[in-house]
Amino acid sequence: MKIRPLKTIEKMIPEGTEGVAMQVGIGKAEGAPRFAMRYFTVEPGGATPKHSHWWEHEVFVAGGKGEVFHGDEAHPIEKGDMVFVEPDELHQFRNTGDVPLEFICVVPHPE
């Protein structure tokens, strides 16, 4: 078992994002062979790029509010919501509030 306080995990800025920080809390370095758990903070007005990839996402909104785009259609999200993004689905997360949008995202390792 490993316990990692979020405040001790390095923040990275994902390429192509605006006002977005990512922290990899659990991944291969912690001995997780199949999945990574990542924590995202999206500042007000910030967004991830619209993108798609072969893997799915399981997302839990931990704070704030925003929108998740499915193709060109925006769906509101807020603290407590859970989102499933299917493989190869065009998607984007955007903060529409005045406080950070925070979410946990679980994804499989790419191999």
At 47 the pLDDT is 95
Q: How many other C-beta atoms lie within 10 A of the C-beta of residue 45?
A: 12
Longest dimension (CA), the chain: 41
pTM of the entire predicted model: 0.93
At 103 the pLDDT is 98
pLDDT tens for each residue of the chain, 111 residues long? 999 999 999 999 998 888 999 999 999 999 999 999 999 999 999 999 999 999 999 999 999 999 999 878 999 999 999 999 999 999 999 999 999 999 999 999 876
Which residues touch 86 (CB under 8 Å, ≥6 apart)? 56
29: left (phi over 0), alpha (psi -120 to 50) or beta: alpha
At 111 the pLDDT is 67
